[in-house]
């Protein structure tokens, strides 16, 4: 009898779901709206209904499902309890036990969405073949996840993998969203890259193809112009790469993973960005040539469902 697992990635707008074989093969993926009204009390019920419907359509019995994994946008305590998921309206909820109850007490395991995405990339994505990876997600903010011996490292307070809020820039004067100053997120995120470009343009009168975008410039604009050879855009990318390389060097000296997997929207710049980060990472880790490699994530928006499914496979 074939065995299956289900991965669920709960987002603020949609819930992504995936039906997998236990060998990692994705059979079917789909989405449902995230109903956040009444403090999100309908979300898990909707998930259970969606899972049952797809299993019924595919003539798969619930007994064939080894478990359901759940990625949620917030810190998850060891017992599966979530103190607060602001984007969902959850407060002191245990989605792990609730969803299990809705699915005839099937095994359900939950984790923070960024950590779960990292697990997915290790299992079937950019980190496939490795057991120890650190994923860094460069999006609107900077997220991350640490996987050691194929297990998520969350720490005792859920702060493991909060790579975006490592302090790396002493001369920063503006505050990060976390309340800190000089965080990785302020430089390496899409928002941070655009801010670096605006600062650079305001600080000089040098010509640059970036100026056509004005204050509305995006990280993609900066990276595109840098690829075309614009000198000022290249300076911005060098700054971003230097600080990201510095952050990865600190992580390498602390955790010593086999690989850093770079994901998120900014990573669409591809090997161009990886090469700049790698240059500075190598500069800040002269202690050894035998160290983690840096590569690109491969699963995109599906990383969450892959990682969630992997949670229940031990």
Sign, CA dihedral 256-302-34-108, equals negative
pLDDT of 76 > 90? The answer is no
Mean pLDDT, to the nearest integer, of 64-88? 89
- The percent of residues above 70 in pLDDT, for the chain, comes to 100
pLDDT confidence bin for 155, thresholds 50/70/90: confident
**Res. 1: pLDDT tops 80:** no
**pLDDT surpassing 90 at residue 160:** no
Mean pLDDT for all residues in the chain: 95
Q: Which of 191, 231, 241 is nearest to 209 (CA)?
A: 231
Per-residue confidence (pLDDT) for residue 118, from 0 to 100: 96
Percent of the chain with pLDDT over 90: 86
pLDDT of residue 158: 76
Domain spans, the chain: 4-120+302-311, 129-297
Q: Residue 188: its pLDDT value, please?
A: 97
226-278, pLDDT tens digit by residue? 999 999 999 999 999 999 999 999 999 999 999 999 999 999 999 999 999 99
Structure tokens at 185: 């997120």
H-helix or E-strand spanning residue 254: helix 231-255
Exposed / middle / buried, residue 144 (Cβ in 10 Å: 0-12, 13-18, 19+): buried
Mean local confidence (pLDDT), 118-126: 97
| Contact by Cβ (8 Å): 257, 134 | yes
Residue 83 pLDDT class (50, 70, 90 cuts)? confident
Confidence of residue 219 (pLDDT cuts 50, 70, 90): very high
CATH of domain 4-120+302-311: 3.30.420.40
pTM as predicted: 0.91
Q: Which of 198, 221, 193, 17 is nearest to 103 (CA)?
A: 17
The whole-angstrom separation of Cα 91 and Cα 89 is 7
Closest CA to 208 of 229, 177, 230: 230
Q: What is the model's pLDDT at position 78? A: 85
Examine domains 4-120+302-311 and 129-297 and report if their fold is the same. yes
In this structure, CATH architecture of domain 129-297: 2-Layer Sandwich (3.30)
Question: Whose CA is closest to 40, among 106, 99, 117?
Answer: 99
Measured CA to CA, the distance from residue 176 to residue 37 in angstroms comes to: 30
The pLDDT value given to residue 154: 87
Query: Half-sphere exposure (CA, 13 Å, Cβ side) for 78?
Result: 4
């Amino acid at each position: 009898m074939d065995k299956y697992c289900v991965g669920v990635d709960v987002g603020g707008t949609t819930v992504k779901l995936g039906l997998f074989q236990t060998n990692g093969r994705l059979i079917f993926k789909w989405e449902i709206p995230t109903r956040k009204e009444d403090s999100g009390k309908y979300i898990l019920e909707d998930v259970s209904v969606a899972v049952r419907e797809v299993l019924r359509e595919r003539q798969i019995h619930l007994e064939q499902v080894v478990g359901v994994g759940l990625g949620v946008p917030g810190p998850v305590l060891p017992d599966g309890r979530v103190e607060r998921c602001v984007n969902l309206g959850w407060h002191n909820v245990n989605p792990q036990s609730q969803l299990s109850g809705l699915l005839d007490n099937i095994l359900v395991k939950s984790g923070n969405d960024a950590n779960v995405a990292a697990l997915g990339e290790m299992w079937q994505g950019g980190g496939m073949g490795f057991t120890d990876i650190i994923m860094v997600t460069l999006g609107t903010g900077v997220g991350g996840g640490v996987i050691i011996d194929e297990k998520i490292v969350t720490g005792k307070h859920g702060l493991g993998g909060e790579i975006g809020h490592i302090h790396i820039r002493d001369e920063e004067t503006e505050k990060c969203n976390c309340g800190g100053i000089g965080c990785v997120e302020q430089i390496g995120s899409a928002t941070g890259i655009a801010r670096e470009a605006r600062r650079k343009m305001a600080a000089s009168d040098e010509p640059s193809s970036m100026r056509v975008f004005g204050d509305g410039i995006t990280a993609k604009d900066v990276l595109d112009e840098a690829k075309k050879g614009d000198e000022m855009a290249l300076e911005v990318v060098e700054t971003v790469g230097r600080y990201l390389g510095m952050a990865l060097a600190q992580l390498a000296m602390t955790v010593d993973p086999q690989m850093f997997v770079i994901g998120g929207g900014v990573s669409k710049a591809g090997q161009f960005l990886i090469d700049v980060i790698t240059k500075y990472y190598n500069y800040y880790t002269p202690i050894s040539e035998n160290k983690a490699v840096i590569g690109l994530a491969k699963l995109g928006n599906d990383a969450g469902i892959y990682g969630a499914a992997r949670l229940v496979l031990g």
